[in-house]
Every structure is written in C-alpha cells, then in structure tokens.
Chain A
Amino acid sequence: MLQAKVITNVRKMSDKASIVDIHGEVNAAAENSLMSAFNQASASHARAVVLNFRGLEYMNSSGIGLLVTLLIRANRQGQKVMATGLSDHYRQIFELTRLNEAIHIYDTEAQALAAANAM
C-alpha cells in the first residue's frame, strides 16, 4: 500500500478563514491527513479554507480527485475553498482538470485572506 508522504499544518487566521499548509505528496495516501486538516480548519466555522500548496512536491490524479471531494464537502458546509502557493506547473494541472473554475487561485496568502475576509 502507498505510504502517506504529506504533512499538513492548520493555521487559524481569523474568524472567517483558516489556512492549510500542504507539504509533500498529494496522492491517494494523503486522504486521511488532508481530510483531517480540512476538518480542523472547518471546526471554527471558518467561511473560507485556503489551501497553501507552497510545499507541494508531487501530485497525481488521485490527489486531484481528493481535492474534488474536499471541495464538495466544503460546498455542503457553505464554505469556500481557495488555493495559493501554486507553481506554474500545478496551476496548469488545475487548468487542465478545470479545478481552477471551482477553486479560486491567489498568488499570495495575503490576497487569499483579503478575499476570505471580504466574504
């Protein structure tokens, strides 16, 4: 079985937004770690969860699938999912898979948080 090679860290930035830092590999094995970080970020009823991909080293198609299921959960809870820290390569993958049409991408954390706080 695949071993998870991902580390997540949750930072509560305001009443409205939390950031999930993602380091390492996002594939099928990252499910538990990613979902648990998302639950933690949602626990304070944050209206926006910002996924920070600055530390992302590898992502396969199962990883993209995980992001879709995470997005559906957020939508069900009335939350927005945002992304920041994406390299050009991972931006292209978001474009290819049309994830960029559902997850708003920001260049910096500051921009993402400003958008979240303006909600």
Chain B
Amino acid sequence: MTTSSSQPNEGKPRDATYWAQPVSRLKVSGVPSEAINLNVDGRRVMSPLQGFGQMWQKNYRIRLAGTKSIPAEVIKTWKENFQKFWPPGNRFYAPLTSISPGEVAVLNLSGPGGIKLSTGIMVIYADDESFTFMTPEGHMFSGWITFSAHTEDSHTVAQAQVLIRANDPLYEIAFRMGGSRQEDQFWVQTLTSLAAHFGAEGEVEMQATCVDPKLQWSQAKNIWHNAAIRTVLNTPVRLARSLFRRNAINTR
C-alpha cells in the first residue's frame, strides 16, 4: 500500500487554461435589452448527476466532406458564429468575450405554442478543438454538451455530444412525449447549418445510449426552478414593464 501526503501534479497541468474556475452561483452580464434574461443569475450549474430523469448520452456527428478546414478552424468558426447555426426562433446571447471558460450565456428558446423559455449555459471547458457547456438549475436538462471536431479518414468530423438528464418530472414527461425528438432535430439542424457554412453536405449520424434508466426521485424538487414555468409566469410582468416603458417614451 502506498501512502503519501505530498501534492501530486505540482507543475501546472496542460489543461489548466481550458477549464473554468468553480462558481457557486452564475452571474450574467452584458445581455442585450431585447433578451429575456431570466433563470440564469444566481442559479447553480447542474451536472447529469443532479438531474431527475433517465440519463442519456447522445452523439450527433457530421462529416465535413470536401472542406479543407482542419478541426481547429471548424471549432473557431463554430465558437464565433454559434448563434448563426441554431435553428430559427432560438437565440443564444453570446458572452461579450466569446465562448471561453467561465463565460455565461443567456438562451431564449422556442417552446410549443410559441412559448419562449429563458435559461442559460456556462462555458466550463474550451480548447482549440472542443468546448463544453454546462446547464443551470431550471434548464430542461441537467448536464453537459460538448462540441468538438476531429479528423477521421482524412475528413474533418464535427460533433455534438450531450450527457444529460431531464431536470425535473415535468421536463421528463415532455422529453418522453416528443421533447427528445425535438432535441435531436435541434442538433441535426445545427450541424447541417455548420456543414453548409463549410460548403459540405451530408447526413447527420446520431447515436443514443441510455446510460441510466433510473429516475432520481430525490431530485424531483428541481421543478421549483423550472425555467419554462417561470418564464411563462413572468410574461405579464414583462408585458407590463414594456407597456410602461412605451408610455413613458410617448409622454416625453
């Protein structure tokens, strides 16, 4: 048996600059006035271990056939134009300093029936060939999504990989009743747009694995932070504020 109290890895590790520093609560700043900025400030980040629903790992990948761009170029473009590749109706309010470790972004997502959902993400990891977002309390999912690019058979392959659980019972029901398929379509569209940007066409390959079929009932309380419910409940307040602002401008 080996026992030692000396500090391991005394030199600075190679990945040190790629990781964000731990935060107890998220702090968001520099969000444009048109954004619905709810459910991010003060929230804790959630790993797949803190969620409620079944744990899923899903890989979406597309071969960028014909492009000469190397993985680092693809990731640089992806980081700089993240919003551009998203399906219409969804907004990613990028951090001012681009996608780098520790930055927090606000998301305004389209839900069924035109409902808007405000939530966010924190960039927990970013290097030249990948970057990872972690979700906050109230987001549909608790977990991580990693965007990466690599070379395979002399082609660049772009990939999005999620490791998630639905955050609460309501989201789990939604996930099983079409939310999962909607999530798949979201990333298929994103990867297709990314490929089109590089002049590549191709099919997005998808692979889904249920890592943990169990529900974590101890996390059912996460529903308290449910961003969909909170955004809907906040709608009258936002409308009143907007009317008040408009009236104030008109009376000047």
When C-beta atoms are compared, the residue in chain A nearest to B2 turns out to be A109
A69 touches B9 (CB 8 A): no
Question: With contacts defined as CB atoms under 8 Å apart, how many contacts are there between chain A and chain B in the complex?
Answer: 106
CA distance A86 to B9 in the complex (A): 8
Extra pairs beyond A75-B212, A98-B49 (11, CB < 8 Å)? A1-B150, A2-B150, A54-B8, A55-B8, A60-B130, A65-B146, A68-B211, A72-B212, A86-B8, A89-B16, A92-B19
B19 touches A93 (CB 8 A): yes
B21 touches A85 (CB 8 A): no
Name the segment of B40-48, B113-121, B240-248 touching the other chain: B40-48
* A contact residues around B161 at 8 Å (CB): 62, 65
- The verdict on B108 contacting chain A, using a C-beta distance below 8 Å, is no
- The verdict on A96 contacting chain B, using a C-beta distance below 8 Å, is yes
CA distance A59 to B130 in the complex (A): 13
From 48 to 95 in chain A, residues with beta carbon under 8 angstroms from any chain B beta carbon are: 53-62, 64-65, 68-69, 71-72, 75-76, 85-90, 92-93, 95
Scan A11-40; emit 1 where CB is below 8 A from any B CB, else 0: 001000000000000000000000000000
B8 touches A13 (CB 8 A): no
From 13 to 69 in chain B, residues with beta carbon under 8 angstroms from any chain A beta carbon are: 13-16, 18-23, 45-50, 55, 57
A68 touches B2 (CB 8 A): no
B1 touches A101 (CB 8 A): no
User: Which B positions have Cβ atoms within 8 angstroms of A?
Assistant: 1-5, 7-10, 12-16, 18-23, 45-50, 55, 57, 124-125, 127, 130, 132, 134, 144, 146, 148, 150-152, 161, 163, 211-212
- Interchain nearest-CB distance for A110 vs B (Å): 4
Q: Which 5 residue pairs of A and B lie closest in terms of their CB atoms, listed nearest first?
A: A87-B9, A61-B132, A61-B125, A96-B22, A95-B22
- Interchain nearest-CB distance for B144 vs A (Å): 6
A99 touches B47 (CB 8 A): yes
A68 touches B46 (CB 8 A): no
With known contacts A68-B163, A102-B49, A96–B13 Cβ distance under 8 A: no
- The verdict on A44 contacting chain B, using a C-beta distance below 8 Å, is no
B1 touches A56 (CB 8 A): no
* B contact residues around A76 at 8 Å (CB): 212
8 example contacts (A-B, Cβ-Cβ < 8 A) are as follows A60-B18, A61-B144, A62-B161, A65-B163, A96-B45, A97-B124, A101-B49, A101-B50
- Interchain nearest-CB distance for A15 vs B (Å): 15
A85 touches B146 (CB 8 A): no
- Interchain nearest-CB distance for A39 vs B (Å): 16
When C-beta atoms are compared, the residue in chain A nearest to B146 turns out to be A61
- Interchain nearest-CB distance for A13 vs B (Å): 6
* A contact residues around B146 at 8 Å (CB): 61-62, 65
* B contact residues around A68 at 8 Å (CB): 47-49, 163, 211
When C-beta atoms are compared, the residue in chain B nearest to A65 turns out to be B163
B49 touches A99 (CB 8 A): yes
When C-beta atoms are compared, the residue in chain B nearest to A59 turns out to be B15
* B contact residues around A90 at 8 Å (CB): 9, 13
* B contact residues around A97 at 8 Å (CB): 47, 124, 134, 144
* A contact residues around B55 at 8 Å (CB): 72
- Interchain nearest-CB distance for A109 vs B (Å): 6
